[in-house]
Amino acid sequence: MKALHEVSVGLSRSPYKVLIGAGALQSSGDLIASVVKPCRCVVVTDSHVAPLYADAVEASLSRAGFLPVRVTVPAGESSKALTQVGAICDTMIEAGLDRSSLLVALGGGVIGDLAGFAAAVYYRGIPYIQIPTTIVSQVDSSIGGKTGVNAAGGKNLIGAFHQPRLVIADTETLLSLPAREFNEGFAEVIKHAAIRDPGMLDTLQATPSLIARNVAIKAAIVAEDEFETKGLRALLNFGHTIGHGIEAAAGYGNMLHGEAISLGLLAACRLSIRKAGLTEAEADKISSALAAFDLPSRLDTSIQTEAVFTAIMKDKKFAAGRIRFVLLRALGNAYVSDDLTSEDIRTAIEDLR
């Protein structure tokens, strides 16, 4: 294993580290044992990731003194459901895991959100470790402690803040991703570049240093606003208000998260040009970056504007009858606006056609 990049998430009550590098899975047991005493543990993964990496992680855990059992859920967004949380908890009960046990989330964003929520509610909260295996999860969803599952009425509406004890991002896992899933992850990288680090738009490659650069952006924002009470953490929602609406209207699983966020980013850029002073040239840099990863720029005609708008109204970012929408004054200069009207949002959705 090569030397790991280390990024600290400096929370006042529960700080932790994100370790990034090629080959980290092979030493995952020892890395985890450095923050959690060896104990009974459950490895939660999915049907795509389990055949690739679960044996290696469990072997490493066993060498370090842990006693792992495995839960494998079907791959895909449909597994982000309370029924799967119950199934995970039932397996943990049957295996004799208690409040002194550990959960290891091995997979992409769906597994991180699902398993993290199971850890948050099992025995009212047990420690857990994130081992993200996709670009989306390595640069974004594994950091920050937001866990949860989907409800019939919207994405991530059932959840809890529950910070991991450690995040281990092995960049070699990215080599096994299908092209479409690899590409979708860059929507979150481009989002981070847009709100905080425009220079990244010139260096978009899945290297440990780029992953670390993204993690540092999210870690800094999370450390300042862990529970999203100050407004700062909302900046991470750039492109997500309309993006989540499109994802819901399309039907979960029919469009990858990053593909929906790509459309949300483009809509947010158009609104930023009209309302916040973003220039056409700056917006073009974002659209060109998205195009470089074959991310969509057109909304399918089968997805109705009103269906997207209805989903947006149920989103957590819609509060007290007003839409809290992240706009850009310029690349790297994001802020939260509550001045947009319903008509502004509908127009932005229509502009994607």
The DSSP secondary-structure symbol of 119 reads: H
The catalytic residue among 48, 70, 80, 146 is: 146
Annotated catalytic residue within 77, 228, 247, 259: 228
329 is catalytic: no
240 is catalytic: yes
Query: Which one of the listed residues 58, 77, 184, 188 is annotated catalytic?
Result: 188
Is residue 233 annotated as part of the catalytic site, yes or no? Answer: yes
Q: Is 247 a catalytic residue?
A: no
State the catalytic residue, choosing from 70, 80, 191, 244: 244
Q: Is position 298 annotated as part of the catalytic site?
A: no
Instruction: State the residue for tokens 């862990």.
Output: 226
The active-site residue, picked from 155, 240, 285, 324, is: 240
Whether 257 is catalytic: yes
Length of the chain (residues): 353
Amino acid at 182: F
**Distance between CA 166 and CA 168 in Å, rounded?**
7
Exactly one of 124, 280, 298, 343 is catalytic; name it.
124
Q: Is 80 a catalytic residue?
A: no
CA distances from 178 to 183, 184, 289 (A): 9, 10, 19
Cα 205 from chain centre: 18
Q: What is the pairing mode between strands 16-21 and 5-9?
A: antiparallel
Q: Given 17, 155, 162, 257, which residue is catalytic?
A: 257
48 is catalytic: no
Catalytic member of 150, 183, 214, 237: 237
- Write the DSSP assignment of 291-340 as a string of letters: HHTT---S--TTS-HHHHHHHHHTSTTEETTEE-EEEEEETTEEEEE---
Catalytic residue annotation: 124, 146, 188, 218, 228, 233, 237, 240, 244, 257
